[in-house]
Amino acid sequence: MQRTILLGFEPGMLSDAQIAQVRAAAPDMDVLVARDREQIEQVLDQVEIAAGGFPHDLIPRAHALRWYQQWGAGADWLMRHPEAVELDFVLTNASGVHPIQIGEHILAFLLAFARGLHHAVRAQARREWVPYREQEDIFELAGKTMLVIGVGAIGERTARVATALGMRVWGVRRSGGVCVPCCVEAMFGPDQLLDLLPEADFVVLTVPLTQETQGMIGERELRVMKPTSYVVNIGRGGVIQEDALIRALREGWVAGAGLDVFEVEPLPEPSPLWDMDNVIITSHRAGITPHYHERALAIFLDNLRRYRAGEMLRNVVDKRAGY
């Protein structure tokens, strides 16, 4: 039977030179570039390796599949397809592709709130010159405390940039303070979250969506935060209980929110978040960069070499844990 590598991309997403790199790395395998479902189904029994887009509901029928390199970091699709958890294939992700652009996106949210740019842009749309008023919330980032929930590669990069601006950075992750990354002053476990939130000026969520993190920020957590604090979420929308966040923003439990991800995407038109002056919305674009495919392809090619050599793959996802 023909051994096939499926590259799940639309035409033009990968260059001819990039596809040639894959073919050169596995000369004895057939390389198919396809995103069309019917085309994928025709070769499903031959697909040993898949990278990029792959219809998740087809995975249980891909009996030859041994390794799937997804092109993004989050593996929360496993929550919708639990049947894939028990299947005999290795799942790897593109962790390491995102720190630069997402770190800059987080910084953009912080600077916008600090300098009042979210108000300035709305005034510009109204062609309105708004003189500075003493009661306006203009402040400096230097001296502020950032709490990063989910300190992986993105959190560490964000901490480095924030520290350079004079901010203090604390981190939260499952393993707590076992290892303190560069530029993070101290690490804590999730059980200490309620003690940390009242001290934070910015709460930045970079955690994946799993059974453990779903809805981890709700009314209890938002109520203990400073009324001058801001929430920034670039992880997954389901990490925050959106109804509680809307109430917090309306009633002043927190000062504002920078949101790139939402419980339902696209964000429904009736959502109150659209009209809130203290909210900045971006449409799940924090991870976008013109360098995305080249960085993800580098991970895939390295893993392809490892796979063929029988070595441990990079970025293996624990399918049960979801990350």
Q: Which domains does the chain have, with CATH numbers?
A: 4-97+290-309 (3.40.50.720), 99-281 (3.40.50.720)
CB 250 within 8 A of CB 224: no
Rounded CA-CA distance 185/193 in Å is 16
Q: Has 251 been annotated as catalytic?
A: no
- In DSSP terms, which residues pair with 230 in a beta bridge? 202, 256
171-223 per-position pLDDT tens digit:
999 887 778 899 999 999 999 999 999 999 999 999 999 999 999 999 999 99
* Three-state DSSP state, 194: helix
Rounded CA-CA distance 130/123 in Å is 7
Predicted structure pTM score: 0.94
In the predicted model, what is the mean pLDDT of the chain? 96
Q: Has 265 been annotated as catalytic?
A: yes
From 83, 140, 265, 311, active-site residue:
265
CB 53 within 8 A of CB 30: no
What is the bridge-based pairing of β-strands 279-281 and 30-33?
A: unpaired
241-259 per-position pLDDT tens digit:
999 999 999 999 999 999 9
From 35, 223, 247, 284, active-site residue:
284
From 221, 236, 242, 263, active-site residue:
236
33-56 per-position pLDDT tens digit:
999 999 999 999 999 999 999 999
Q: Which residue has the tokens 């400096």?
A: 140
Q: Has 236 been annotated as catalytic?
A: yes
